[in-house]
Amino acid sequence: MPTLDAYAPPGNLDDLDDFGRKAWNTFISNTVDEAIQGPDPQQVLNDSPRLQFYNLTRTNTDTDVRHAPIKWTAFPRVIKITSISDLQRWQRADASRDVQDEYCEWSVIRDGAGKITQVTFTSEGPEYWEILAQTNPGKVLELYQKFISPDARKEDLFSPSGRYEPRNKWNNSTSHGAMHLIQPNNTLGAEIELAAAATIRRVINGQELTTEQELIACSKYGAPERNSDPHIGAGVNALARQKADISLADPVGLYFDDLSTDGWETPDGSDPKSYWTYLRGDSEHRVRAVYEVPPDKGFGVGDITIGGRTIEFGAQIADFITIRLTGIACRFGDSTVPPQIACKEFSAVDMREESFNAAAFSSSGRFLDPRPTLSYRSSRVS
Amino acid sequence: MPDHAHLRRATAWMRRSADVDATRSSAALDDTSGHALLGLEGADDDFGPGSTALEPGRLYRRVSGTDDHARPVSDEELAGLGDPMAVEFFRVGTFPTTVQELLSNLPATAAASRKVYLVSEAGQIPPGAIGERDMRFAITAAVGGSQVDLLISAQAGGDPKQGFLQVAAWDPGEKVFNFYARFESSWVWAGNSWHALEPDSRGKGCFDSHVNGSVVMKELRIPWINWQSERATIRLAEDDPLRHDPLFQQVTGAQRLELTVRSLITRWTAARLTAITANGVVNHPDRLLRHLFTSTTINLASTDRQSSNITADSPDLTLPTGFWLNQDVLFDDLRLSTQAAPPRAPATRYLAGLSRFGFHLEEKHSGFSQPGDTFFAFVVPEAAHEDNEVVRQAVRTGLISAKFAACVLMVDFPNPVCSPARSHLMQYVPTMPTKTVKLCDKVAKAILDAVRAKDLPADSPEGRFAACWQEPDDAWRTVFGQRVDAYLRAVTQQIQTASGFDDYVRLAEFRRRQFRLMKLNEFELTLPVTNISSSAPPLAMREDATVAELS
């Protein structure tokens, strides 16, 4: 397979104009290049470069290519393991987009009696929307009006200076719509960085690390508490151990893999899966879905049962959703990149007070290291 | 490479008696061999006195405990089997001898729905460190509709004609699972879900693991111990021929199988409860209520932290909630009011416990031994989803009241499995046909009468039930919730101390000991071994979160 001419938009969406598509390709390509380069080795030890990761627009893919889908559950594991019961975890996950950190966020619509009528899920990274907003703001408004509410106005989505506000009133809650991902860790930039970092093989004390937890503990490429990060890392690293070159398949993105409806029952015996509809993305790359029963059926989502229990929370559906990314690997057995023999470490730094300034704190209040390469890796397009 | 062909212990139920006896004498645990999903085997069986070699290409019947020996299934009997295995294969004279042959003969729609899972108790032990790793595929498919109705368990790797091949298949007409196993080129029907409940066959043959007639996945909850999942990938040598097996290349994470197994347990439970209450009378109330009062089977739970990756600097461990109480029923089904969070233990306490109690893995028959805990830390038995589902559906359908179920559980809620106090109350459950509308009241009245007649103390199981039963209908959820919250707060304090944590380790080991006595205990590597004596006094958790010896 020759080199790609350009990275395609997530899901092969067609919202971008030519300029936007070029901007998107530049963003992904640059992000991949930065991920290959890795952090400054003077500041971060044993984490760069990542020479088994490659850019599809700069390096060809050989004929021995294998696609490796990596799938995980959409329900946030952090919430799962810190809740005492299913009821508690569903309530917590439905309460805030900020806890929906498995690259899948959702918003719930209820009727006057509080019964669920619709749950919308998205896996669209924020970067795409920032580029779309910068290159075609009218399209952004059009999409919000189509998918969230006809009441959406330009001033709801953009600041007075014209800057797009990802956490706008139509995309900042679990009850007023979910247009794209906003949870701070749910970015394509994070996905690419994680995949690249995970290509580093680790041989510690003569023993090659292979398990999900030992790899993420050593390579520190994500949050060990999530379903996604350790699993993505282990999947990618398994390819790296076969001495292959690795990349993320084009179009780079996070996609709905499936909704299982095992144990679901509808009041009229109809197929519960028939109410799951993909709204955006091509047939192989779905990025937006809705679970909703047509009005003429005479019942709603809240009347459907899962294992005999009615659907009271959008999170109950998230338990049954799998999210996917696809890695590709080729040139198996050819890589000569040696493994790292130590774990990722941060070099000592003088943490003087004057090193900090307002910019060292993200909008979500997260601490930023004064060293740029150690800072929270913003995926915001500048 | 290990020879996968002949070491499958799960086929023991098909062996002749002499083989079984030899197995029993050579390894204490081999006589309860089995597997996770289908568990068709049980070494207390063979084909029975007078049985002859099975003819190839035939379906036989052998329900353990009911049939003395295997005999051919009659045409009439075959016509009564309506599951996909019978319909797609046996009725048309097809007797697949390998899992590949079975799968290739399924309709195209079933192939599209197929999911393949992989499980092995030795799956996280480095390849080469142990000989036979007992890898099994579990395969699900939807043949007759959109929901799974065919479950296959088969040896992974080796000669598929020699490896075991077992099937549980849902009959939509009879609303039961039928259980089958291939024996060379023949197949044996080992019974259906109802046989699991009948005294003659209960606990025998395949029903030693299909205890209540449903499908089985012991490690049902995250992190799906022993299964390949989104939390762990089973380790294979780079040159293991299994890597080239098309089924292996289709393996998906066990998180998906959890959803399927839960739905199948729900399906059978619903069919069962509908059938036994059809005329407004429960003929065997004891068979129903033992799911509430006793532990007919168990699931295994653990932290989802890799034990060998835990260091003194690691974050606290969230021990499995099912170790403390039956959270699924108490919180999700009965909806006790709670503000509690799962208790967390310092990593240092866990590490000290591993050393102090000599945790290690051991497989006597192979001589394998390795220091440390199981791959995922702190494996313990918890209340079985099979039992919980019966309780949940019984409450939802009004067969028993939520308050009644809560009162029974609150008698000894800190001991969610194998509670002697709750089991003690089984004596008040009628064994004769009883009208469904009177079931709860009849049991409650019997217990209350016993308290009065025998002047039983307040801390007796009967006394505790009576106290709960007195709570007003609009207050019991709050009152019980407060008790549970107070208990979990006490646990959270106790677990911070060395003595408190060590007591919980001893309690966990005692509960594991109880699991080892079950036929469900199929593989030595399922649980860790400790230096705690197997004759140590039985232990129980108290409501103040201290551990005491059972009197």
pLDDT tens-place string over residues B390-409: 999 999 999 999 999 999 99
Centre a 10 Å sphere on the Cβ of residue B252 and count the other Cβ atoms it contains: 19
Q: Is residue A113 part of a domain?
A: yes
Q: How far is B488 from chain A (nearest CA, A)?
A: 10
Burial of A283 (0-12, 13-18, 19+ CB in 10 A): exposed
Residue B265, sorted as left (phi over 0), alpha (psi -120 to 50) or beta, turns out to be: alpha
Residue A365, sorted as left (phi over 0), alpha (psi -120 to 50) or beta, turns out to be: left
Buried b (16+ CB within 10 A) or exposed e, A64-103: ebeebebbbbbbbbbbbbbbbbbbbbbebbbbebbbbbbb
Report the half-sphere exposure of B6 (CA within 13 A, side-chain side).
1
Q: Is residue A32 part of a domain?
A: no
pLDDT tens-place string over residues A106-120: 999 999 999 999 999
Of A210, A227, A262, the CB nearest to B230: A227
Of A71, A86, A213, the CB nearest to B332: A86
Site of tokens 């590949």: B100
pLDDT tens-place string over residues B81-133: 999 999 999 999 999 999 999 999 999 989 999 999 999 999 999 988 988 88
Contact A73 B270 (CB under 8 A): no
Q: Mean pLDDT across the stretch A16-27?
A: 97
Both tokens of residue A182? 């906003």
Q: Give the residue from B225, B291, B292 showing the smallest Cα distance to B258.
A: B225
pLDDT surpassing 50 at residue A363: no
pLDDT tens-place string over residues A201-259: 999 999 999 999 999 999 999 899 899 999 999 999 999 999 999 999 999 999 999 99
**Chain A residue at shortest CA distance from B267:** A263
Contact A77 B222 (CB under 8 A): yes
pLDDT surpassing 60 at residue A375: no
* Per-residue three-class SS string for A224-247: CCCCHHHHHHHHHHHHHCCCCEEE
State the total domains in chain A. Answer: 2
A365 compared with B492, residue with greater pLDDT: B492
Residues A91 and A239 in one domain: no
Q: How far is CA A160 from CA A92, A130, A156, A179, A359, in A?
A: 34, 16, 10, 21, 21
Chain center to CA of B479 = 32
Q: Which residues of B touch A (CB under 8 A)?
A: 124, 146-148, 222, 230-233, 235, 238, 252-253, 255-256, 259-260, 262-264, 266-267, 270, 304-306, 308-309, 318, 321, 327-328, 330-332, 335, 338, 340-342, 392-393, 396, 488
Residues from chain A contacting residue B146 (CB–CB below 8 Å):
261, 271, 273
Interface test with B, best of A83, A85, A313 (most B CBs within 10 A): A85
CA distance A7 to A9: 7
> Which amino acid makes up residue B347?
A
Residues from chain A contacting residue B112 (CB–CB below 8 Å):
none
Residues A222 and A162 in one domain: no
Q: B155 has which bridge partners?
A: B136
Q: How far is A231 from chain B (nearest CA, A)?
A: 6
The 8-class DSSP code of residue B330 comes to I
Q: Mean pLDDT across the stretch B192-220?
A: 97
Residues A66 and A77 in one domain: no
pLDDT surpassing 60 at residue B501: yes
Residues from chain A contacting residue B340 (CB–CB below 8 Å):
84
Residues A248 and A269 in one domain: no
Of B232, B256, B338, the CB nearest to A84: B338
Contact B267 A263 (CB under 8 A): yes
Residues from chain A contacting residue B270 (CB–CB below 8 Å):
308
Q: How far is B491 from chain A (nearest CA, A)?
A: 14
C-beta of residue A332 within 8 angstroms of C-beta of residue A245: no
Q: How far is A137 from chain B (nearest CA, A)?
A: 39
**Chain A residue at shortest CA distance from B264:** A263
Q: Is residue A193 part of a domain?
A: no
Both tokens of residue A232? 């993505």
Contact B331 A87 (CB under 8 A): yes
Residue B129, sorted as left (phi over 0), alpha (psi -120 to 50) or beta, turns out to be: alpha
Q: Is residue A359 part of a domain?
A: yes
**Chain A residue at shortest CA distance from B317:** A81
Contact B331 A234 (CB under 8 A): no
Residues A230 and A354 in one domain: yes
pLDDT surpassing 60 at residue B27: no
Contact A260 B259 (CB under 8 A): yes
Residues A219 and A242 in one domain: yes
Q: Give the residue from A68, A349, A5, A54 showing the smallest Cα distance to A233.
A: A68
Both tokens of residue A110? 């209820």
In degrees to the nearest 10, what's the CA dihedral of B313, B316, B320, B326?
A: 170
Domain positions in chain B: 9-219+242-253, 277-549
pLDDT tens-place string over residues A69-104: 999 999 999 999 999 999 999 999 999 999 999 999
In this predicted structure, what is the pLDDT of residue B471?
98
Residues from chain A contacting residue B308 (CB–CB below 8 Å):
214
Contact B305 A213 (CB under 8 A): yes
Residues contacting residue A71 through CB under 8 Å, at least 6 positions apart:
A257, A322, A323, A324, B230, B252, B253
pLDDT tens-place string over residues B283-318: 999 999 999 999 999 999 999 999 999 999 999 999
Tell me what percent of the residues of chain A surpass a pLDDT of 70. 91
Contact A307 B263 (CB under 8 A): yes
Residues A280 and A369 in one domain: no
Average pLDDT, chain B: 90
Contact A81 B222 (CB under 8 A): yes
CA distance B265 to B387: 10
User: Quick one: pLDDT band at residue B51, thresholds 50, 70, 90?
Assistant: low
Residue A63 lies in domain: 38-72+198-252+329-374
User: Quick one: pLDDT band at residue B551, thresholds 50, 70, 90?
Assistant: confident
User: Quick one: pLDDT band at residue B532, thresholds 50, 70, 90?
Assistant: very high
In this predicted structure, what is the pLDDT of residue B274?
97
- Considering just the CA atoms, what is the radius of gyration of chain A in Å? 21
Of B255, B327, B328, the CB nearest to A73: B255
Residues A208 and A318 in one domain: no
In this predicted structure, what is the pLDDT of residue B53?
77
Q: Which residues of A touch B (CB under 8 A)?
A: 71-73, 77, 80-88, 210-214, 217, 227, 230-231, 234, 238, 242, 260-264, 271, 273, 307-309, 319-320, 322
Residues A95 and A130 in one domain: yes
Residues A58 and A112 in one domain: no
Contact B266 A85 (CB under 8 A): no
Residues A246 and A337 in one domain: yes
CA distance A192 to A377: 11
pLDDT surpassing 80 at residue A353: no
A21 compared with B36, residue with greater pLDDT: A21
Contact A214 B306 (CB under 8 A): yes
Residues A236 and A136 in one domain: no
